[in-house]
Amino acid sequence: MAIWTDQMLPRIFNVCMNGKPLREIRARVCADLSGDVVEIGSGSGLNAPYYPAVVTGVWAVEPSEVARKLATKRNTKTEVPVHFAGLDGQRLDLPDSHFDMALSTWTLCTIPDLHAALRELLRVLKPGGAYHFVEHGRAPDEKVARFQDRWEPLHSRIAGGCKVTREFPAEIERAGFAIKEATHYYMKAAPKYGGYVCEGWAIKP
C-alpha cells in the first residue's frame, strides 16, 4: 500500500488533476491572490502557473515527498517565490496573524482532521485575510449522496484518505470563517460522486 500511496498516487494526481477543466478552475481560484499566501496541500504545484505576480510569496505545506519533488520543477517556472513550509496542514509551524491570504484546492477532503487544518489557517491569517478554495464534497442529489456514502470507505482507501461526503462551505463556516462567495457545480469530465465542488472565498473576521 505504501508504494501506491507514497509513490504512485502523487504521480497520478499530478497527471489527472492537470486537465483543462481543472486548470480553468485553478485559474479562477488563484486570480485574486496577493501578498503573502499560505497554501495547504500544495501537491505537485499545479496551482503555481496561476499565482498572480502581486503574490509576494507562497508558503506551501505538503506531506508527500514525491509531490514536493514534482512541484520543485514546476515552481522554478513561476516568478513568485515558493517556500516549502511544512508537512502537515493540521499543525502549521508558521506565525500567528501573518498571512494576507490562504489557498486550498481539492485538499480538505484528504486532511484527516479538517477542523484542525481550518483552525490553523484562521490562526496564521491576518484579521480580514482571505481564504480562497475549491473543495469537493457531498452532492445535493439524493441518489449521488447515497452512492457517496456507500463508496466512501473504499474510495478513501484507494485515494489516499480522500473523503467524498464532507460538506462545503458549511465546514469552513463552522470553523469560524465568514463566507463571502460560494458556487457549487459538478465538474466537467469527473464522476458525480467525486466531482461536486464548492468554489469560493471566505475571510477571517
Residues that bind ligand SAM (CB under 6 A): 13, 17, 40-43, 46, 61-64, 67, 88-90, 105-107, 110-111
Map residue 180 onto helix, strand or coil.
Answer: strand
Half-sphere exposure of 132 (CA within 13 A, CB side): 20
The label of the residue with cell 457545480 reads: 185
Nearer to ligand SAM, 89 or 169 (CB): 89
For 59-76, give one letter per residue: b (16+ CB within 10 A) or e.
bbbbbbebbbebbeebbe
Nearer to ligand SAM, 10 or 129 (CB): 10
Q: What crossing angle do the helices spanning 65-75 and 9-16 adopt, rounded to 10°?
A: 40
Map residue 67 onto helix, strand or coil.
Answer: helix
What's the min distance (Å) between Cβ of 128 and ligand SAM? Answer: 24
What's the min distance (Å) between Cβ of 191 and ligand SAM? Answer: 14
Map residue 70 onto helix, strand or coil.
Answer: helix
Nearer to ligand SAM, 98 or 155 (CB): 155
CA 81 to CA 6: how far, in whole Å? 26
What's the min distance (Å) between Cβ of 59 and ligand SAM? Answer: 12
What's the min distance (Å) between Cβ of 87 and ligand SAM? Answer: 7
- Name the residue whose CB lies closest to ligand SAM: 43
Nearer to ligand SAM, 86 or 129 (CB): 86
What's the min distance (Å) between Cβ of 106 and ligand SAM? Answer: 4
Nearer to ligand SAM, 41 or 137 (CB): 41
